[in-house]
Structure 1
Amino acid sequence: MAALSSSKSFVIFTFLFSLLTASSNAQLSPTFYLTRCPLAQTAINAAVLKAVVAERRMAASLIRLHFHDCFVQGCDASVLLDNQATATSERDALQNRGSLRGFEVIESAKATLESLCPGVVSCADILAVAARDASAAVGGPSWIVKLGRRDSTTASRDAAERDLPLFTSTLQEHISNFAAKGLNTRDLVALSGSHTIGQAQCFTFRDRIYSNGSDIDAGFAARRQSTCPATAGNGDSNLAPLDLVTPNLFDNVYFRNLIEKKGLLQSDQVLFSGGSTDSIVREYNSNGLTFRADFARAMIKMGDISPLTGENGIIRRVCTSLN
């Protein structure tokens, strides 16, 4: 076979190199900032710890913020864009309005990183690291965060209202919703276990505690009624812990609560209601280590949902707005 000409060899080499580069750009890596911003994770951790020490509840808010980002357009920090940045801010979605928190923690970390290494660390990566550090700060598991996401230039309220779970979601709606993001039923139950910390507003559980249904413990319902009036519009924003037993500690008591019919939200209790997820709830209740391992694994998997990498997206200088 005749030797390839030098020009043809160069073309083939260039083509193969471009494929390799495109492939590597599409991959997230724990060492993505190792040389360009080696103190990135240290700076994010400091911001998270400061916020959680000031308010323990913030740990749950930061985990939820990452979840609500990844389920809409992928893990691209679209959830952080405010109304001045986009006409369809996800903050105004029903599932987010008046309840999504932690924006100032992300902005604090971002401001520090912009002074350390301007234009390098994405807001989407800050969200991913902050969720991990928030979990660890309240006794939950830690995990290796893959990095290299870039930030979106768009957001979608419609997509948020379509893709984010509701406090009224049925088990089948949960399963379908998670499956659409590449997550299975085990991921669903594990990630729902983040409700071992955090609080919910009265309007999200009012119907459940006044339903007199067979799927709720009567004593638990009565206790919750003491701070959540039956009349809509009265005390709607009053808070109650999602886990009444250990509300500020990341553990597996949440699953015992479900078995005892003490899930605060209907969307939680459906995980133990005679359906396909009952066995997973029982398993996590009896083995906290398995739950912790599965939660960490599911968070990593969720962080892989449609990230922007390579030349896609931007690195925002301020997370709430476009450059």
Structure 2
Amino acid sequence: MSNVESRPVEVRCGSPADDDGDPVARASRVDVLTPRDVPLGGPRAMTVRRTLPQRARTLIGAWCFADHYGPDDVARTGGMDVAPHPHTGLQTVSWLFSGEIEHRDSLGSHAYVRPGELNLMTGGHGIAHTEVSTPRTTVLHGVQLWVALPGEHRDTERDFQHYVPEPVRVDGAGTVSVFLGSLAGAVSPVRTFTPLLGAEITLEPHATLTLAVDPRFEHGLLVDHGDVRLAGTLLHAAELGYVHPGQDTLTLVNESDDPARTVLLGGPPFEEEIVMWWNFIGRSHEDIVRAREDWESASDRFGAVEGYPGDRLPAPVLPNATIRPRRNPARADHS
């Protein structure tokens, strides 16, 4: 999905310094991140709820962008129709709860995003794609996520992967569908460039589920619907609970009378600073300027998307200020 805000903010992202000197207390704390509403497109725009990036937390592992949308009545909003647009330095992760989206990209991929199926696209040095909800869609509902590529791989070649995970029933309490990484004995074969975890978790009414996780990872639990207690902290629909590294289990409790659905994200802290603006991720303001110029000049860097009946998205105007990446706090601690 494109970030189609008319005036996107250039974001400096990095692992934030933590003022809590007690690592045990920090590891057991859950920070609650609330979303902001972002309209995508024109006057009948579909609105998404964005929990990453924000002032309190810009990254969870290499996860750098999280949009949560729906249930969206496409008869009222027109659904999703995102014209050809570019990406650099990232992977896009599309995961649906309902509806169907047609994907085309400049690699030549033509695929559909359906509930319970992962579409992962690698932008690397540059790719362009489109996303359009199909006529079969009545309600569109899902998440769109971005993963920052580490410096050594940020100019990798474009790629596209599709994977359908097998849901795993866990302790009679819920179901886990692992689309990236491993959890509850399930392992995704999908290639990523840093260790990652991505999984949909559904919980039966009033069920408790304890999952073994990698203590090196930080985690984020996004609640789609229901009231879910994570490590003792209650999260409501659309909120994201952040858990610091150091935990080897996570306990989820559904406080609702109905099934609850969540998405669990994780990865080791991303130790690089990045600059993110519009659909580009770089390491400097100059990287962003160059990517924008290449897109506006229709250079070969991004290729062409075939089969979309319309013009491509123009890049927004760049901000007047030059913003440099924030210094890595981990390095600062040793300076």
TM-score by length of 1: 0.28
The structure that has the greater radius of gyration is 1
Tell me: higher relative CO, structure 1 or 2? Use CA pairs within 8 A at least 6 residues apart: 1
The answer to which structure has the higher helix fraction is 1
TM-score by length of 2: 0.27
